[in-house]
Structure 1
Amino acid sequence: MKQLLFFIFLLFSSVLVAQANEDHLIIPSGFTLESLSGYGYSKTIDHQSNAASMNPAALDRFTSLAFGISYQFQSDVKPGWIAGIGSTRYHQAIPQSVGLILPYKNLRVGFGFSQKYNSSLLYGDIPVTTTENPDPTGEYVDVSEKSDVERYSGLVSYSIDNFIYKDARFSFGVAVNYNRLNYYYRFGQKNYEPDRVLKSHGNKVTYSLGVTYSVLKSSLFSLLFEKGAEFDKMTTDENKFTILYTLVPLPSWEGMDKSVSKEPDKIHIGFDHSFSEESQITTTLSYIGWKATGQNRKDQVEAAASFIYSMRHDLLTSLGLYYTDLNYNNNAFFAKDNLFRSLYITAGAIYSFSLFDVDLTVADSHLLAQECRKETLGRISVGFHL
């Protein structure tokens, strides 16, 4: 309990400084596995519902009009992150992703939506103690803090046949992304009107550039650069401040709505290979530039690989791995080696009908992960094609 109260004081203490740099994208598990589907985790071999997060050059895969929508569900992260705080996903009714792809000869145009980040901190009930009554008084403080990032994308790609070699195909694409950060904060005595409510949002336009190169229709090489969003200008939607509860007698809350949240730039390298009409592998290696964000985080490397097998003409299955890690600099409050290391086992299946398909995917990290990264997530996608 002392740990939790200290951590809350530490969070709030930063808002007294005019140059407060409160980060709303603080939970590693809040960053969604955007490119997860029945094919595994891949930026090139992906479901149409993930159009917003895929390599724009990979739109070349789709030869007919395609539309898809997905929903994601995941377990709560246990209170092992720090100071007994857990996290969970919220806005379950909002799709994880939506995508539309329109092909015309060698040209592809796409539109997409995706939740890049989604997290609600679980502080639990905090018992009230005072100097006069060091034992709990029977009252509790309720703290709620939620944030999410939505991406709205427009994509275009163009392909060139017989590029350099016969039966080789080169595709390049670009995506323009409108990113919106939504933040909600509530603090007050449980079962009473809150002392503090803050709602704010930030907007940022970014871009993604990608290329793919296929050889002999069996091997595909890909490269993707994603520019991270910097939400440095937050707009306050609601700022309610009543009598501050005496548990935290701070003189001011200025700066809480003047935060700066930064996403890192990312580079993804992919290699996919088909062994036959029934089987293929996908691999992705990602470099994430956290250091440039100035948030005391070290640059990280992520890796994913999946084996895909078509059991029948209408049923495709996959089994794969996804590795992620995040470490902080030694002078950071969260510094602890391998605290956020996690290895997900992914499994998926896609069942195709004449005009639509159903994609079911599961990813689990309980086997090889620290307590604060152990979770199970499931995603269901439905795709339509003409």
Structure 2
Amino acid sequence: MSLINKMLQDLDARGSQGAAGAQDAVRPVPGRERAAAPRMVMIGALAVLVGAGGAALGWRVLHKPAPPVPPRAAAPAVVVVAAASPPAPAAATPPLPVAVAAEPVAAAAAPAAPEPAAPAIEAVKAQGATAGERIQTDESLKSVRRVKAAQTAKPAPARADAEATRATINAAPVALQGKESNVQQRAENEYRRALAALQEGRVNECIAGLEQALAIDPRHQAARETLIRLLLEGKRPNDAVRHLQLGLALDPAQPAMAMMLARLQLESGGPAVETLMRTLPFAGGDGDYRAFLAAVLQRGQRHKEAAEQYELALRGAPQNGVWWMGLGISLQAEQRLVEAKDAFARAKGSASLSPELQAFVERKLQQLPH
């Protein structure tokens, strides 16, 4: 409004200065025209004022920098594409603003974009091409996954068959265990009937029952031991040897049965040493077994091995006079006379020998050099 007042004052000043000189030249106008003249001046002044204000506002709008647009969190895909795009040359194009990378459509539509916007548009196009290639790659990966899924789904019947086979295999031990239990029970029933017959004095029927039990279950140890004892009492050593050999063939870890078989083989000239050596790993620290093996080795003139077995047996029973005597015999045969004399002396001092063996040891001590 101050601008309008100033313009009115200027008009009044000009009017007062020219009124004196031009009064004669001014002719009176009608009253209607005099009333319209100030109104037209006011309208013209307002038009000029509005035009000047619009021009000033337009100038400010055109020259005011555009406020930075904050990047929107909802456009991660566009940001990833911008990161994957190659950087624009530094000499030709300034760094691409984040607003252009995040909002390529808004930047392209802005009417007052600066002149270097063309390289930015080219960068966005390149980014779009990279995004298109990535989409094609993603589609290819999806196709490959679908093919793999289809291939994986096809062998389902084969897996079902494999699971059924495994279930059958897992069930087989249970069935075998039940069958084995049934076999053991049948053999046990025959064994008990054979013992009942033995208590009634029917030995032959008992032997037949024990043989039937072993036919059902060859590993029925009690039935085999009882049968061997009855065969030996019945003077049937050959049948006893056969059953002993069958038992050791099924389970060699039976030192007592191996010693029994070795005794029978010694009487018949059989391979007693081989029988005992076969079961030796299962004898452990059994001194009786090692002493018996030493005696069998000594009988076969294998004195060095016999002395070793006697020494092992005496570690667990150092007061056994018979074993000291056996060790002295093998040491004397090996011409280890000093050690043999010491062994005989230990045998004599054990006070566990019979009168006959005591006399034998004393004679050996007298024969050895002092």
- Would the TM-score normalized by the shorter structure come out above 0.5? no
TM-score, normalising length from structure 1? 0.13
Larger radius of gyration: 2
Query: TM-score when scaled to structure 2?
Result: 0.14
The structure with the greater share of residues assigned to helix is: 2
Bigger relative contact order, structure 1 or 2 (CA pairs below 8 A, ≥6 apart) = 1
